[in-house]
A = this chain, B = another copy of it.
Amino acid sequence: MNIRVAPENLNEAAKQAISVAVVGATGAVGVEIRECLEKSGLNLSTVRLLASKRSAGQRVPFAGGELVIEELTDNSFQGIDYALFSAGSGISKAFGPKAVAAGAVVIDNSSAFRMDEAIPLVVPEVNLDVIPAQPGIIANPNCVAIIATVPLAPLNARHTIRRVNIATYQAASGAGAAAMEELRLSTAAYLAGEHYAPKVLKHPYAFNVFSHNADVNPQTGYNGEEEKVIEETRKIMRRPDLHISITCVRVPVLRAHSMAVTVEFDEVVSPDEVRAILRDAPGVRIVDDIEANHFPMPNEASGQGDVLVGRIRRDVGDPSGRSIALFLAGDQLLKGAALNAVQILQRLVG
């Protein structure tokens, strides 16, 4: 699970009881946030699980006991120290400021505030220092931006990256629990020779691949997901000048994102040096066994918190020798969302 602060190592501050609210507690990410909180070692005096009226009253297991889902209202944040939002931009915009006004620190998994200059956009391994002493809202980045920056930032810290090119292999989970279910149901229908009309996503998902479902900007040809990754990667890495291009593609995988990445440095850097830097990088696990043909795969990235990195080689297509090719995989629901948010919480407390 890679919750970085093991209970026995928590300092005294972290042992202080805190009250936490989870907004969107029944969604794909909300379920993972609950599980990350259980495993976090944090001393939780209150865990308030908030969702829409429809889910209110539902009972869910938590830490050996049971919690009741409550309806999200203006009064939900009384007495809450930290509120983790994962219910879409609209909810975050409407209720995030209210949670802050009620005295909570908000860790927001939506895109609502990410590009707001006043809001820190945080990957704990990369830029924890941007969180101010008295934080209000802290934004949790886009899943692809998190998974990409965990290995890219330590490389950039040693050798300036000039340009990045990414092609993604994105899982259904990024489109929510309903999309994951659509992938399962449509695949079962396909195997049974039955017709399945897509309900959640626009295109057939069974044994199919399609360009990411976010709207495409007709001016640039880039879709909203690609624009987020480009902007957020620059902000997280504090490299507004970084040249970055990306093609975001959905593949029929349930919950981990993979990506083929080409990194061009300002100077020649050897694959061995890249490997050495990444070996020491927090949150990175090198999976690069040429003999066994064993490289990062979404099935092995799922359910754990590291970003797997492999296929580390000199890009033979760059005549300057300054480019390195990589293949990554990371759990979209964990490091790409819930785990990153809970790791931010741990750092705030601990």
Contact = CB atoms under 8 A, between A and B. Distances in A.
Number of copies: 2
Nearest to A295: B211
B313 A249 contact: no
Q: What size tier do the contact residues of chain A reach?
A: 35 or more
Contacts of A203: 294, 297, 299
A187 to B, nearest CB: 6
Nearest to A184: B191
Contacts of A163: 317-319
Nearest to A217: B290
Chain B CB within 10 A, most for which of A163, A164, A209:
A209
B245 A209 contact: no
Nearest to A226: B316
A267 to B, nearest CB: 17
Contacts of A183: 207
Interface string A222-237: 1100000010000000
A337 to B, nearest CB: 19
Given A216-B290, A327-B211, A221 B253 contact: no
A297 B188 contact: no
Contact of A260 (B230, B247, B258): B247
Interface string A250-265: 0111100010101000
A65 interface: no
Interface string A83-99: 00000000000000000
Across the A-B interface, the 7 shortest Cβ-Cβ residue pairs: A221-B313, A245-B317, A167-B167, A167-B260, A247-B260, A211-B295, A208-B299
